[in-house]
């Protein structure tokens, strides 16, 4: 439960079901972006830049996982 009284599980389910990442083309985009961020992380030389790219890749992969989970909930 959030501090404002909103049920977090209901909020998360709503967000996932209304995510633009629920379309196959958006899942492809998220996967491509994660791959690009991983490539950029591997090419970077400054530790902070490497970390930033890995964090972005993780974000895209988490979004992809959430989109796939939402698709299974709806299907």
Kindly report, residue by residue over 24-66, the tens digit of the pLDDT. 678 899 999 999 999 999 999 999 999 999 999 999 999 988 8
Check pLDDT > 60 for residue 13.
no
11/68 Cα distance (integer angstroms): 17
pLDDT of residue 30: 92
pLDDT for residue 6: 54
Is the model more confident about 70 or about 7? 70
Taking the CA atoms of residue 51, residue 52, residue 54 and residue 57 in that order, the dihedral angle to the nearest 10 degrees is 170
Phi/psi-derived region of residue 2, left when phi > 0, alpha when psi is between -120 and 50, beta in every other case? beta
pTM, two decimals, is 0.63
- The CB density around residue 64, as the number of other CB atoms within 10 Å, is 19
pLDDT, average across residues 60-73: 79
């Amino acid at each position: 439960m959030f501090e404002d009284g909103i049920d977090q599980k209901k909020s998360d389910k709503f967000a996932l079901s209304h995510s633009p990442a629920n379309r196959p083309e958006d899942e492809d985009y998220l996967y491509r972006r994660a791959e690009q961020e991983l490539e950029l992380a591997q090419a970077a030389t400054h530790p902070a830049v490497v970390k930033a790219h890995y964090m972005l890749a993780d974000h895209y992969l988490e979004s992809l996982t959430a989109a796939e989970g939402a698709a299974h909930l709806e299907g």
